[in-house]
């Protein structure tokens, strides 16, 4: 029975790794709901996901670097503030009730769909120069800080917010935003893992199994990403966020009633 459990975790990790390479996320947006559905406590799901994300993001970033699609300067600029704010997220995750944690996660997913649509409307209406002429240093500081908090709080790498914010505030093309995001996820995941391990929330065997599956998935998707159109990637990102938001809303309702 335990081997079947490990097999299921491996397949889930593989799927999350594929999404990590395609969408620039660590895979936590898939892993956390999946682990909750398997009966893990939300805080265990968040913490264990952070370990799997670390393994997956390292794999994908190495592959991006080998293909010449890795910009260290962009990664460090976003990752530096994330190291600090990830610890704040870890602290908050231990204090917030489970159903509130799930509700906030669902709202996060929905808000990112809005951010992607907002960017498109601003570009279409040529309002960016008037309304969002932000200093790039401040924009990177804000983006990295937000990613760090989310990494610690929800067990995601932070890519789920970094991709749309890079596109919105820094005017990065979606493929560049994804490749940079995956690199920053390595930094945020390290910080989040340390905090969660100190609090005793990580299930290490489960996290490693998920991470190994994610490692293989990320190697596949980072090779395919450059061949896909921006429109296809954007549609995939929105669809994933919408489906997960609905599922998380349902799980938060169940948790609240329980």
Domain that holds residue 202: 2-257
Across 26-30, 66-70, 203-207, the highest mean pLDDT is recorded for: 203-207
**How does pLDDT run across 119-177, given as a tens digit for each residue?**
555 544 544 444 444 467 788 888 888 878 877 777 666 666 777 778 777 778 877 88
DSSP state of 156: -
DSSP state of 155: S
CA 139 → CA 73, 74, 122, 146, 148, distances in Å?
15, 12, 17, 11, 14
- State whether residue 157 is helix, strand or coil: coil
Please give the tally of structural domains in the chain: 1
- State whether residue 175 is helix, strand or coil: helix
**How does pLDDT run across 72-130, given as a tens digit for each residue?**
888 888 888 888 888 888 788 778 877 777 777 777 777 766 666 655 555 445 444 44
Sorted by sequence, the CB contacts under 8 Å of residue 43 that are 6+ apart come out as: 93, 94, 98, 101, 201
Query: Residue 39 — φ and ψ, nearest 5°?
Result: 105, 0
pTM of the model: 0.69
């Amino acid at each position: 029975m335990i081997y079947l459990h490990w097999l299921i975790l491996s397949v889930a990790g593989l799927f999350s790794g594929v999404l990590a390479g395609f969408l620039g996320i660590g895979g936590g947006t898939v892993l956390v709901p999946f682990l909750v559905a398997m009966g893990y406590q939300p805080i265990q799901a968040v913490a264990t996901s952070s370990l799997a994300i670390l393994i997956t993001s390292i794999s994908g970033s190495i592959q991006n670097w080998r293909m010449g699609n890795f910009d260290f300067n962009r990664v460090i600029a976003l990752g530096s503030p994330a190291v600090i704010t990830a610890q704040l997220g870890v602290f908050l995750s231990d204090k917030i009730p489970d159903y509130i944690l799930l509700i906030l996660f669902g709202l996060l997913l929905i808000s990112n769909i809005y951010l992607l649509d907002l960017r498109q409307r601003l570009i279409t209406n040529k309002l960016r120069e008037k309304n969002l002429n932000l200093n790039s240093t401040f924009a990177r500081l804000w983006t990295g800080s937000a990613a760090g908090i989310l990494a610690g709080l929800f067990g995601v790498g932070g890519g789920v917010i970094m991709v749309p914010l890079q596109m919105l505030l820094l005017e990065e093309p979606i493929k560049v935003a994804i490749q940079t995001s995956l690199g920053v996820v390595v930094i945020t995941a390290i910080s989040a893992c340390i905090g969660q391990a100190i609090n005793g929330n990580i299930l290490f065997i489960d996290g490693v199994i998920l991470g190994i599956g994610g490692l293989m998935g990320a190697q596949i998707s980072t090779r395919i990403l450059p061949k896909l159109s921006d429109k296809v990637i954007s549609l995939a990102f929105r669809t994933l966020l919408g489906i997960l938001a609905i599922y998380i809303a349902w799980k938060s309702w169940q948790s609240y009633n329980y």
